[in-house]
Structure 1
């Protein structure tokens, strides 16, 4: 098995274009030496806050090797959110790069002030240690940790404010979250002859469970991608034909032009597309499945949360994707709970008593993979932990056959409305490059925020797109680049309310966000 990054790793001074397992192990050992030389000791917390790439995983592995606790922060986090999280964890060391360190908070302070020391991956940054000077220092002996010991912190998406820091132990992350994915379950897991392409925030727990499955199932080639720019992806995929692609919805959106171009066959060999973190629009799924020349390509969509790992899974075939959305009304199905791993139930948001099948309610999950808590925020954790059950904060419907259909997040849910389903239909009826967020309000129909490539919306196209839907307010049109999103591409609806609705309150309680 070999790994091919789309660009050299930021922690590899030699700039290797191809990495085998031994090269990766050497990189981890040398990085562990650098962290130790920078003063990191067993039990210390150190923050990884850098441009997204596969080496975020390797930095975490290097720290865990010497008994330290990595705090994984996305380089796409707003500077003030990063400052708040660094204040919360008080790291011994901050590992970052020049561009991010040059960003100042709203009060003008430097991020280096929130850690005892800063290790910069670039050279010549004042008041920091240079990674290149310490790389390859003596690697201390590995430090074992107990299964119930804190292993790592990662953060939630932050769609409603400062993200939460999630506490993972080896028992939860390795023993439970990664366990199912490491099983050989053809055709939905990796084959030995697969070429796997991965686009993900490598600071997220999803990246850690994924790398366990890669190392266990051993596909032939792994393309670790830090960029979904079509100019980067197209040539690489032409040279190394992927058979499995996993990406965020925003990555699939950015690469959609490659899939739609009949002259481009970058996705022709793909047998399975995978998405996580959020639902992908049907208008995006369809061109990818149609671009594959595999006789029976699948789209695998996972339902899960950072706190629980995977909770359900569903599949879309090419035939299903090509059926018009207005012929298949109803909430989006996210699959059935994984047998033997997860239980799901739907309850009344006020009484927490189970509701009959077919009626909407709060989705609760029971899984042994539930993480250990929120770092220094036990009150927020206790608000969502209901005994052995976990309050997902989602509103959904359970069918008589046990499948779960999602309606909305509780914070955005208004009874009688299904905004997520309506958004799917609208986007499917608009030209490529459009996105929509519906914001329910207390004194009228939902307000559509429509993001278009150039900030302009054709009135006739809009009227055709919403003709068969319940009443909507007049759309507010913005440029696609102005749609506020988290580091994983999720729309920040609270920010839309603040910008365009004068901060109008959301319809739900927001207790479980």
Structure 2
């Protein structure tokens, strides 16, 4: 591809040679040009090499968003090692699990998380060296200053991994998805073209870098020659200020962030003239929230559906689809596959492909796919069978025009009296009710039907009988929740996903199906 880097490893070299003085990274009051970023990545590569980190080795980054984490990832890409990103929201024992699972030899830790690392002490069995980022004594900056720049790129194969991101682990310990040079290049090339990212654009990097919505988004923006604005803390008014002041053209946010942005005073009165489009994904956006966003913000919206195991995005719903009054039903779809991605719907039991309109498991085939889960061949074989189709674990259907509709997670499907009931469909209806602020639907035991839907809601002045009647007016009888429980909040894991196993557990204790 002309006019772009040849790969991820030479990304900084290409743009340093093309436009060395252009701003590559913005972070708080600081900026780095492409020449400065290239020098920092070269020095980080030299420091890692001097510390004995070589091909196939892992280092770990444990911090909130900071340019250092991206520099370390790009440095790893140059020497054939991989950066394992640690979710900073995890409990200490989960942090230890992630670092030990990755077998990280060098740990880069933000100063505010150093007490956790010190508390873990010798529980971090593979770590030989700890480097503190930021704080009163910034060891990372000292390390770069003392390092001999390593400008060469060590040989690597397209299916080698340079970035290891951990799945959220809603059903157990997280798994390390090995994202590859070839996979990330395919993802970057396609999405840069799809979103129209070019030199001079400014991309907001506000989602955590331990998530594909953080690291993969940042890498593709840099690949396209854009300047990235790295945001450490998600403070709503400050985030809007950054978007306007930095003249952001592109960005990615999760629906929950849009929800809080809409509550900022004067949100509709700011100058968004520089913004071309903002993407949203990682969880469904409730229709009332999406409609409010479309009414409030004048720029384009692009929904993205994807997964860690595919380096990020596999389908998108375009800005044009969002504002097409003739096809309003498509607002609840995940759009169509991006170039280079094939989507099929498979029978959850056999994997056999199903016709349009049938609900089954979403299957993905693409050059973007991970090489597997680190140290977990059994889970790799389950997710990536020999036919080359990634089993997403999501339930969905394709319509006759190729638009994908996600219905739920396969494991969350409720089988009631022989009928398949997808909680997300019920949740979508309940989310439209003005008294409901948050909702989760689970299956609970029923002597007659095997299991039936139950809604767990968060809200103010909830009238349970009125809410049940509301559902009966809008859903088939077998889909309607048979009971509703009101809670002050829903249990969530550190990435914000609802822990339905915890909601199910009290109802299934002693019952064969289990939680």
TM-score w.r.t. length of structure 1: 0.81
Secondary structure of the structure 2 residue equivalent to 1:375: coil
Quickly say closer, same or farther: Cα 1:139–1:206, change in 2 above 3 A.
Answer: farther
Secondary structure of the structure 2 residue equivalent to 1:151: strand
Query: Which whole-Å CA distance do the structure 2 matches of 1:212 and 1:104 have between them?
Result: 28
Report if aligned partners of 1:33, 1:134 keep a CA contact under 8 Å in 2: no
Superposition deviation, residue 124 in structure 1: 8.2
Aligned position for 2:304: 302
Aligned position for 1:311: 314
Quickly say closer, same or farther: Cα 1:66–1:336, change in 2 above 3 A.
Answer: closer
Of stretches 162-171 and 56-65 in structure 1, the one that deviates more from structure 2 is 56-65
Residues 66-85 of structure 1 mapped to structure 2, 5 A cutoff: 66-85=79-98
Residues 136-175 of structure 1 mapped to structure 2, 5 A cutoff: 136-141=145-150, 142-147=152-157, 148-174=159-185
Query: Which whole-Å CA distance do the structure 2 matches of 1:262 and 1:124 have between them?
Result: 36
Q: Deviations over 1:248-305 (max 9, x none)?
A: 23322332313x8466426565332201322222222222222223xxx432111222
Alignment pair present for 1:424 and 2:423: no
Query: Which whole-Å CA distance do the structure 1 matches of 2:325 and 2:463 have between them?
Result: 26
Which fold has the larger relative contact order, with Cα–Cα distance below 8 Å and residues 6 or more apart in sequence? Answer: 1
Superposition deviation, residue 65 in structure 1: 3.2
Aligned position for 1:478: 487
Structure with greater helix percent: 2
Quickly say closer, same or farther: Cα 1:130–1:319, change in 2 above 3 A.
Answer: closer
Report if aligned partners of 1:267, 1:288 keep a CA contact under 8 Å in 2: no
Query: Which whole-Å CA distance do the structure 1 matches of 2:493 and 2:470 have between them?
Result: 24
Superposition deviation, residue 483 in structure 1: 3.6
Report if aligned partners of 1:301, 1:314 keep a CA contact under 8 Å in 2: yes
Aligned position for 2:287: 282
Q: Deviations over 1:379-427 (max 9, x none)?
A: 1111122322121111112222222221111000124323213222322
Quickly say closer, same or farther: Cα 1:91–1:242, change in 2 above 3 A.
Answer: closer
RMSD over aligned Cα atoms: 3.5
Report if aligned partners of 1:98, 1:122 keep a CA contact under 8 Å in 2: yes
**Of the candidates 68, 74, 89, which is equivalent to residue 55 of structure 1?**
68
Superposition deviation, residue 238 in structure 1: 4.2
Secondary structure of the structure 2 residue equivalent to 1:356: coil
Residues 96-495 of structure 1 mapped to structure 2, 5 A cutoff: 96-103=109-116, 112-121=124-133, 130-141=139-150, 142-147=152-157, 148-174=159-185, 176-183=186-193, 185=194, 188-190=195-197, 192=199, 194-219=201-226, 221-258=227-264, 261=266, 264-265=269-270, 267=272, 270-293=275-298, 297-309=299-311, 310-315=313-318, 320=323, 328=329, 332-339=332-339, 341-386=340-385, 387-414=387-414, 415-430=419-434, 434-443=437-446, 445-452=452-459, 456-459=460-463, 462=467, 466=471, 468-470=473-475, 471-480=480-489, 483-487=491-495, 489-495=496-502
Aligned length: 477
Secondary structure of the structure 2 residue equivalent to 1:19: strand
Residues 28-47 of structure 1 mapped to structure 2, 5 A cutoff: 28-36=41-49, 38-47=51-60
Query: Which whole-Å CA distance do the structure 2 matches of 1:139 and 1:438 have between them?
Result: 56
Q: Deviations over 1:459-507 (max 9, x none)?
A: 2884686463443244333334x541332x3223223334x64669897
Report if aligned partners of 2:199, 2:224 keep a CA contact under 8 Å in 1: yes
Report if aligned partners of 2:356, 2:399 keep a CA contact under 8 Å in 1: yes
Report if aligned partners of 2:222, 2:228 keep a CA contact under 8 Å in 1: no
Query: Which whole-Å CA distance do the structure 2 matches of 1:46 and 1:71 have between them?
Result: 6
Report if aligned partners of 2:59, 2:83 keep a CA contact under 8 Å in 1: yes
User: Structure 2, unaligned stretches of length 5 or more?
Assistant: 1-21
Superposition deviation, residue 333 in structure 1: 1.7
Report if aligned partners of 1:300, 1:313 keep a CA contact under 8 Å in 2: yes
Of stretches 404-413 and 19-28 in structure 1, the one that deviates more from structure 2 is 19-28
